[in-house]
Structure 1
Amino acid sequence: MPPRDRLLAAVVALTWGLNFTAIHLSLEHFPPFFLASLRFAVLAVPALLLVPRPDVPWRWILGYGLGFGILQFAFLYLAMDAGMPTGLASLVLQSSAPFTVVLGAVWLRERLSARQGLGIALAVLGLAGIAVHRAELGGSATLLPVLLTLCGGLGWAFGNICNRQARSGSPLGLLMWMSVIPPLPMLALALVVDGPAAIGTSLTTLGSRTGLLALAGLAYTVLVATVLGTGLWTALMSRHPSSTVAPFSMLVPVVGVAASWLLLGEPTPVVELALGTLVVGGVLLGSSRPRRRAALAGAATTAGPAGAPSPDEGTGDAPAAVGAVRTAADAAVR
Structure 2
Amino acid sequence: MHGRSISPIHLIIIVAVTCLWGFNYSVIKAGVDNIDPFILTGLRFTFAAFPAVLFVRKPDVKWRYLALYGITFGVGLWGMMSMSIYSGLSAGTASLILEFSVFISVLMGIVFLKERINTSLKIGLALTLLGLVFVANITDGSVTFIGFVFALVGALSMSVISLMVKKLDIKDMFAFVAWSCLFAPLPLFTMAYMVNGVHLYSELSMALNPIAFGSVLFQAYPTTLLGYWVWNKMLTKYPLSMMSPFKLLVPIFALLGSVIFYDEQLGINKMIAFSLIIAGVLLPLITPLIAPFIKRLRFKELQS
- TM-score normalized with structure 2 length: 0.86
CA distance in 2, matches of 1:22, 1:258: 13
SS, match of residue 182 in structure 2: coil
Match of 1:154 in 2: 156
CA distance in 2, matches of 1:90, 1:217: 17
Q: Deviations over 1:201-223 (max 9, x none)?
A: 132343xxxx2111122222112
Contact 1:63 1:162 in 2 (8 A): no
Q: Return the letter of the residue paired with 2:16.
A: V
Match of 1:183 in 2: 185
Instruction: Choose the corresponding residue for 2:224, options 211, 219, 226.
Output: 226
Q: Return the letter of the residue paired with 1:122.
A: L
Match of 2:124 in 1: 119
Give the RMSD, CA atoms, in angstroms.
Answer: 2.3
Match of 1:328 in 2: none
Match of 1:15 in 2: 20
Specify every segment of 5 or more residues in structure 1 that has no aligned partner in the other structure, as ranges: 296-334
Contact 1:64 1:160 in 2 (8 A): no
Deviation at 1:275, TM superposition (A): 4.2
Aligned ranges for residues 1-334 of structure 1 at < 5 Å?
A: 1-129=6-134, 131-132=135-136, 134-135=138-139, 138-206=140-208, 211-269=209-267, 272-273=270-271, 275-287=273-285, 290-291=288-289
Contact 1:60 1:165 in 2 (8 A): no
Contact 2:75 2:184 in 1 (8 A): yes
CA distance in 1, matches of 2:49, 2:292: 41
* Identity between Structure 1 and Structure 2 (%): 27
Deviation at 1:19, TM superposition (A): 0.5
Number of residue equivalences: 288
Deviation at 1:288, TM superposition (A): 5.2
Specify every segment of 5 or more residues in structure 2 that has no aligned partner in the other structure, as ranges: 1-5, 294-304
- TM-score normalized with structure 1 length: 0.79
Deviation at 1:239, TM superposition (A): 1.1
CA distance in 2, matches of 1:149, 1:113: 28
Deviation at 1:260, TM superposition (A): 0.7
CA distance in 2, matches of 1:221, 1:98: 26
Deviation at 1:291, TM superposition (A): 4.4
Match of 1:332 in 2: none
SS, match of residue 89 in structure 2: coil
Contact 1:93 1:150 in 2 (8 A): yes
Match of 1:302 in 2: none
